[in-house]
Structures are given as C-alpha cells and as structure tokens.
Amino acid sequence: MLSKLERRFGRYAITNLMAYIVGAQGVVFLLSRTADGDHILSELVFSPTLIAQGQIWRVASFILIPPSFSIWVFFILYFYYLLGARLEEEWGSFRFNVYYFTGVALSIFGALLAGAGATATYLNLSIFLAFATIDPEFSILLFFVIPVKVRYLAWLAWLWVAFTVVFEPLPAKIMATVSLLNYFAFFGRDLQARLRGGAARRARRGFLRSAPPVGGPIHRCTICGATERDEPRLEFRYCSKCAGHHEYCLTHLAAHNHIQ
C-alpha cells in the first residue's frame, strides 16, 4: 500500500523533514527565554477546548515544543535530527513523512481518547525505536564518555513503556499504547519474523543437543540402557506421560516410574 501511495503522492513529500522540525523547536526554545516566553509556549500547547473555540493551530503546534528547556536541548535536537535523517535515508522522504505524521495523528488521537494533553514524548520515542530497530549496533557516547549501543537503550525504553502500561494511570496507559502504533504498523511483520526465527533457532539448537553422536546408537532405554546395537530386534517407544523425551524398550515401557 505504501508503495502505491508513494508512486501517486511521493512528489509531495517534505524532504529533510526532521531538519525543519528540530529547527522550529530550536527557535521556540530561544523564544521561550524571552520575556514573552511563557505566553508563546501557552499558545502552542494542545488543548481540545481551545481547538473547539477556533484555535486550530493547536492541533499540531505541540510538536514544535522542544523536548527540553535545559542547555542540553541543542544536543538533544541534534540527536533527533540524526535519527530522522537516518530513517529518511533508509526509507525515503515519503515513507518517513508517513511514519512521522502518523505518529502525530496517533498522539492527537491518544490524547483525545485519554482526555490528556498531547505531547511529542511518544512521537520522539517512536522515532528512536525505529532507528534502534534499523541500526541497533549504532553507538552513542553516554555522558560524552561511555559508548553504548542503541539496542540497549531501546530495551530500557521498552521497559519504561511496559512499566507505564502496567502501573501508570489509565490516561498514561492509553497514550503509551496508542501513540506507538505507528511503530508496530511499520515493524510488526519484521518483529514477528524475528520471533519465529528465534524460536526456530532455539528448536534447532535443542535438536542438535539431543541428537545422538555420529556413529553412536540411535535408541537407548532410559531404564536398562539397552540399545539397538545390543539387540537389533529390540523395539523402543517414547513415553507420552514422562516430561521431556524419554525412550524405553518394550520391556520397561509399560512398567516404569514416570519422570516429571
């Protein structure tokens, strides 16, 4: 579906979208340091009541509020620019536009559903998780000193989301769940494939561990230790009531203590 949409509407995609977003957030941060800073920020906050009164810009202006108001904000904005630029390089401008604006729409929908204010927190988190999925071996310098791969930071992010869903109040649960649906829409099939691949690898490793050594006997009775090499006519069966895979000769199949 995305391919069809891209062929038809791809020419309307905003190239280098994240540069415009973080640039606007940087400007808002600088304006917030002025005498009218609080008023400027209040005009950007998402408010269903004020939107209903005609202040339509509030539907999306919340994405222009910077993620931090400390001196570190420019490092944070540069980091998000790198994430967005990497995703746009991987997907192309159109698909990254779809991912980002779908995240915006979901943040708005989640806020309306939860009766809370929409913020860009989970929108930014979805960008980070997408980047960590595409480039998990990328390293960043934590505190400008400690190299950490983004895959580990992504695990911490998922733990935070899980904690929110389990322990936080209902509005926070709704926001955390709804706002990340764009991530699952884009990566759901990949995650399923990885889970299936991991299960197949574990099953294969289990089979290899339980397989008889090359040249050794194929069957061995759990009770007496007899093998087909001791008596070629000897038959063996697995017991369905024993935990695990335990094989018995016919003599001991009907009379043995089941292993639990």
Q: Is residue 200 part of a domain?
A: no
Same domain as 67, residue 17: yes
pTM over 0.95: no
- Please check whether residues 168 and 103 belong to one and the same domain: yes
Q: Which residue from 2, 10, 3 is spatially nearest to 94, judged by alpha carbons?
A: 10
- 176 and 235: one domain? no
99-131 pLDDT per residue, tens = 999 999 999 999 888 877 778 888 999 999 999
Domain residues for the domain of 247 are 206-260
Cα(159)–Cα(161) distance, integer angstroms: 5
Residues 165, 49 within the same domain: yes
Cβ-based neighbours of 253, under 8 Å, separated by 6 or more: 237, 239
Q: What are phi and psi of 259, to 5 degrees?
A: -90, 125
pLDDT tens digits for range 196-242: 665 555 555 555 555 555 556 777 888 787 887 777 777 778 877 77
* Domain finish residue from 188, 214, 237: 188
Count of CA atoms in the C-beta half-sphere (13 A) of 132: 20
107 residue type, one letter: S
Output the CA torsion sign for 114, 119, 125, 127. positive
